[in-house]
Structure formats: C-alpha cells, structure tokens
C-alpha cells in the first residue's frame, strides 16, 4: 500500500501507510426502512474565475454526474442546499439553473430530489418581511415549475428582518398555504451559519422549538418533514417526538446520525445529510442493513465513519464544504480540488491530511492509488516531498 508523509496538527511530518480496502458497492435499490437524502456539492469550473466575490461558474457535466452517482447508490439528492455553497458562493442565477438541470436529470432516472428554496436573491441585511416572503415565493415557484419538491431553507434576511415569532408564523404560514405539494422545513443552527442565530424568534432554543412546532402543527398537511441541523441529538429526539403524525424528521446532525437514524422504541429520524455526499456507498450499505433488520451490521458499517464526519464538520463548521469537495476529488468524482468562491483555501493542510487518513481507514477511496497520487500532489504544492 502507498506510503506518504503527512502533517499532523502541529505541522510535524509523520509517515502514513494506507490501510483501507475499497468498500464493495452496495446495490442501487432505494432503502425501504428509511429515506436517505445526500445534500450534494457542486463542481466548480477550474478554468473559470471562481475567486471570492465572483458569480459561480460550474462544471455542469461533473456536477450532474455526481448526482447520478448518488442516485445509483439508491440515495435521494437534496440539491441547492448549504452543501452546494448556498450563501457561500453559489449565487441565485446559478442556483436556479442548477435546480432546473437537476430536476431534468432526476426525471430521466426516476431519482428522488428535493431542492432548497431561500431568499438569497435579496441583498444582505434586513429587507423587511414583505420582500422576504416575495423572495421565498419566487424560488418556490421555480422549484415547483421544475417538478421538484422543496426544502424551505432558513433565511438570513428573515432572521435580520423579523421582530419576533409572529413574523416567522406569518411568513411560513403564508408559504405553506400556497405550496402545491408538501415541503421540508429546515432549521439550520448558527454553527452552520452565524447569521441564523435566534431563528424562529428567540435565542432560547426551547422557545424557538415551541414556535417551530406550532407552525408545523397548524400546517401539518403541507409539511412532509423537518430537517434539523442543530448538532444536538437529545434536542432532535425531543422535537421528533412532538411532530404531528405523518410529519417526518430528517436528521441534519452530521455528528450523531447513526443513532438518530437507527432510532428507538418511540421512533427514528430519516436523513438529509451533507455527510452522505462523501459517504454515499457506506450510507447505502448501512441503510440496506437496516432494511434487513441487521442492526449489529448497521452499527458495524456506520459507527467507524463518525470520526471522519466530526473532522469534516469541525469548527468553523460552515467550512465543511471544503472537505466534502476534497474527498470527492480524492475519490475520483472530479478532476480537481477547486471550489466556488475560492473556498478550497478554507481548511488547513493538516486538517485535510487527517481527512485523508480517516477516509482511507473506512475504505472510502474506490482507487487508493489515485487518492494517494492526488494527495502527494497537494503535499508537493506545500513543499512536502513523499
């Protein structure tokens, strides 16, 4: 197996010999016992100007090919979400095109697809509740016209404009009364986006949860489920148990997903996770084990992936996109390590080296020699010779 010199957290170089065996791909059937969405990243055009502040330029062929990779593993695709760099480089015109293209591809293969609706066509700041509602309505209409289901993403502009819980109730109530099919509501915690602090009208999470549950309960027929991204397993379980009958809980907890998806005697969470982007073959195998009522097998497959997930989503959590694309490059899903908005620079080389080790240990690289060669090339750019 390949041997490399990798920098540790203190910058010291240590030898590492790859140990992982490529995971045997699972079948492409969609899981029956749980719904599993992978929040998918976008592939930047490496020859275009994707520097900070510039409109996003995508490699459309590679971006859509990655969605087909997820569908082949039986997973659903959650597109135009925060993993796709919404609010961190993916502008609204490019997002709109992404939704249209992904919806067309989903129809062609009968793939499960949801797309994020937000308000990021508005300028930063507090434009007011009326304009926030209009922006949401515009994006929802585009998603529905494309034939996809929607995820109502948390809005920075609503967080800045709302004076209290009643503004959230007004905006979400209006939207839920007009949707043509049930949607997913997304509660994204401030660890993913500090601009969303105090969402649902309070920094007290108990009070915010009450407002969230009240909105869902009043409009339950229009809510397919809720995606909870608070990285707090106990809070997610408590919220899950309060949901109206028929409303799903999609975990967005990239730290505690194995136990939340497994569930307990009172219920379980389905999944809508950024970590499923790199973990697609492993996630498919784990969910297949649950389908077979093989809980020990499920745990054996999924538990070893948690250290990798925690490294990916380490603080500052919102830079996890860099690691997601890094792993896609190492795994051969794209030809380069370049992100929209120049975000490839957002993680240190020691952080990426640790991701490389953890991904190797769980057998995430279909071609270990390719992964090693690409890692060596990155190290050489930093002046490290293996």
Average pLDDT of span 333-350: 98
Predicted local distance difference test score (pLDDT) of residue 90: 98
What percentage of the chain has pLDDT greater than the value 90? 96
Contact 101, 94 (CB under 8 A): no
Summarize pLDDT for 64-121 with one digit per residue, the tens. 999 999 999 999 999 999 999 999 999 999 999 999 999 999 999 999 999 999 999 9
Contact 132, 166 (CB under 8 A): no
Task: For residue 164, give Cα distances in angstroms to 32, 138, 170, 310.
Answer: 40, 24, 10, 33
Per-residue pLDDT at 316 exceeds 90:
yes
Predicted local distance difference test score (pLDDT) of residue 147: 97
**Judging by beta carbons within 10 Å of its beta carbon (0-12, 13-18, 19+), is residue 111 exposed, middle or buried?**
buried
Average pLDDT of span 142-166: 98
Per-residue pLDDT at 268 exceeds 80:
yes
Contact 250, 227 (CB under 8 A): yes
Query: Distance between CA atoms of 27 and 187, rounded to whole angstroms?
Result: 32
Q: What is the pTM for the complete model shown?
A: 0.97
Average pLDDT of span 224-242: 97
- Four-point Cα dihedral 134, 137, 141, 143, nearest 10: 120
Whether the CA torsion 96, 101, 106, 107 is positive or negative: it is: positive
Predicted local distance difference test score (pLDDT) of residue 26: 62
Give SS3 for 79.
Answer: strand
**Judging by beta carbons within 10 Å of its beta carbon (0-12, 13-18, 19+), is residue 319 exposed, middle or buried?**
middle
Q: For the residues of 194-224, what is the DSSP string, one character each?
A: GGGTTGGG-SSHHHHHHHHHHHHHHTGGGEE
Summarize pLDDT for 22-43 with one digit per residue, the tens. 877 666 789 999 999 999 999 9
Query: Distance between CA atoms of 240 and 243, rounded to whole angstroms?
Result: 5
Question: For the chain, how many residues are written?
Answer: 386
Q: For the residues of 236-266, what is the DSSP string, one character each?
A: HHHHHTTSPTT-EEEE--TTTHHHHHH-BTT
Predicted local distance difference test score (pLDDT) of residue 76: 98
Average pLDDT over the chain reads: 96
């Amino acid at each position: 197996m390949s041997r490399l010199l990798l920098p540790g957290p203190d910058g010291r170089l240590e030898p590492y010999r790859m140990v992982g065996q490529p995971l045997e791909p699972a079948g492409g059937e969609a899981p029956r016992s749980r719904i599993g969405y992978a929040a998918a990243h976008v592939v930047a055009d490496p020859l275009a100007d994707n520097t900070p502040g510039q409109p996003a330029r995508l490699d459309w062929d590679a971006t859509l090919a990655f969605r087909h990779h997820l569908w082949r593993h039986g997973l659903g695709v959650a597109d135009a979400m925060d993993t796709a760099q919404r609010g961190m480089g993916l502008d609204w015109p490019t997002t709109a095109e992404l939704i249209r293209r992904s919806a067309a591809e989903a129809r062609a293969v009968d793939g499960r697809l949801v797309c994020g609706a937000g308000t990021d066509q508005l300028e930063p700041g507090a434009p007011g509740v009326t304009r926030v509602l209009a922006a949401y309505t515009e994006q929802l209409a585009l998603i529905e016209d494309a034939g996809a289901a929607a995820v109502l993403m948390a809005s920075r502009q609503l967080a800045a404009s709302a004076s209290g819980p009643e503004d959230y109730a007004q905006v979400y109530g209006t939207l839920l009364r007009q949707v043509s099919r049930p949607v997913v509501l997304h509660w994204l915690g401030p660890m993913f986006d500090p601009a969303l602090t105090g969402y649902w009208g309070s920094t007290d999470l108990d009070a915010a949860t009450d407002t969230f549950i009240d909105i869902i309960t009043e409009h339950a027929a229009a809510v397919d489920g809720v995606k909870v991204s608070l990285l707090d397993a106990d809070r997610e379980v408590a919220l899950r148990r309060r949901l109206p009958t028929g409303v799903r809980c999609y975990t967005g907890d990239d730290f505690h997903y194995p136990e939340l998806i497994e569930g307990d005697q009172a219920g379980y969470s389905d999944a809508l996770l950024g970590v499923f982007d790199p973990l697609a073959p492993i996630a498919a195998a784990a969910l297949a084990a649950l389908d077979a009522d093989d809980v020990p097998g499920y745990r054996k497959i999924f538990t070893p992936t948690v250290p990798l997930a925690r490294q990916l989503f380490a603080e500052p959590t919102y830079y996890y996109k860099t690691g997601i694309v890094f792993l896609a490059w190492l795994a051969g899903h794209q030809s380069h390590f370049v992100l929209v908005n120049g975000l490839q620079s957002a993680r240190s080389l020691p952080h990426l080296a640790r991701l490389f080790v953890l991904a190797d240990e769980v057998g995430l690289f279909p071609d270990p020699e390719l992964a090693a060669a690409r890692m060596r090339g990155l190290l050489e750019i930093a002046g490290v010779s293996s």
